[in-house]
Amino acid sequence: MQDGPSNYLFAGYATTPVAITVEGANILTRTLITFAQGALRAHPYLYAEIEAARNPDRRAGIKAFDKAFGGHISFTLRNMVGSFLHAVSGGRLASTPVSGDLGRWYRQLARYSQSFALVGDWTVAFLGGDLKRKQRLSGRMADILSDLYLLSAVLKRYEDDGMIAEDRPVVDAVAYDLIASIEASFKAVFDNFPNAPLRILMGILVFPLGRHARPASDRLTYRLVRAVLRPGTFRDRLTRGVYVSMDPKDVTGVLEDAFLKVTKAEEIEAKFVRAIKKGIIERRLDRDAITDAVDQGVLTEAEAATLRLADQATDRVIRVDDFDPEELSPKQLAREPTAAKDAAE
């Protein structure tokens, strides 16, 4: 039985199909809305060209079209030159609002934003109305746009927090992963672009020296996880704006309560386990061995109390709801609504 008082996540999980039915699955947002829906409106010149072509005043329409088309040509050439130069230089020629080593991520953001503008322009111009039918291609372009947005959000958050050195590894790890994801999405777009000449040209302009981005290493990720699994200001900044309860009587508070108590008891637990491995105390299924550890002088009374509190908190977290079979019988479930109605009356 999954449902029960202890499973506070079940209600949200049970309503997920309702949200998908009403709002639409995430796959719709990715493949149709994020890029294809607004590509025409967001383009700096394409919509103006279409409006000029539809202008009933032919002379005014031609004048407006020539102006928009000239701007479009200039926009395309700038993107071609900019994408190629940024790719060849590894983004070093791009501008950055900050100095120091952090500037490399702003340069990478500028580099791939330029490449996205180029590929997005050609994708919309070549595919036109077919873009909405090329949903996998549109979805990959949406992935690139989303990754660029996330990278800009990470950099802004880091700046807003005062560029705290303790948070820098998070910025680097996220940036490594996002840049690698952006390059992979670009490659998938080029590999599946329906026009071969454009496919080859885009590949040359965006990756003239090949793809070299790598995601964050396991070692870096491990260090971040270790840092998050420690109480402190670093972890508190990551959970800012998130509801966090410290009340052990609260259904969500038991998690934080156990986290703090287990962290406090780590060194004591290690000492206790070493004593068991050395045979100083006997391993048992229950934790009465803690008393033995005190008797043998392995732990002090205070350390034993800390360890017991951590054990109790852990037990509360992993405890599952237990129902008597009679409570789950069809007859009992049928009687419950009637009993509730009688109580209300």
* CA distances, 4 to each of 136, 172, 254, 323 (Å): 40, 41, 16, 9
Handedness of CA 151, 152, 153, 154 (dihedral sign): positive
Question: Which residues fall within 8 angstroms of residue 99, CB to CB, at 6 or more apart?
Answer: none
Q: Cβ(155)–Cβ(106) under 8 Å?
A: yes
Nearest CA to 114 out of 214, 205, 212 is that of: 205
* CA distances, 16 to each of 3, 11, 19, 216, 270 (Å): 15, 9, 5, 32, 42
Of 23, 51, 266, 267, catalytic: 23
Question: Which residues fall within 8 angstroms of residue 329, CB to CB, at 6 or more apart?
Answer: none
Q: Cβ(282)–Cβ(290) under 8 Å?
A: no
Nearest CA to 176 out of 257, 108, 262 is that of: 108
Active site residue 345: no
Q: Which residues belong to the active site?
A: 23
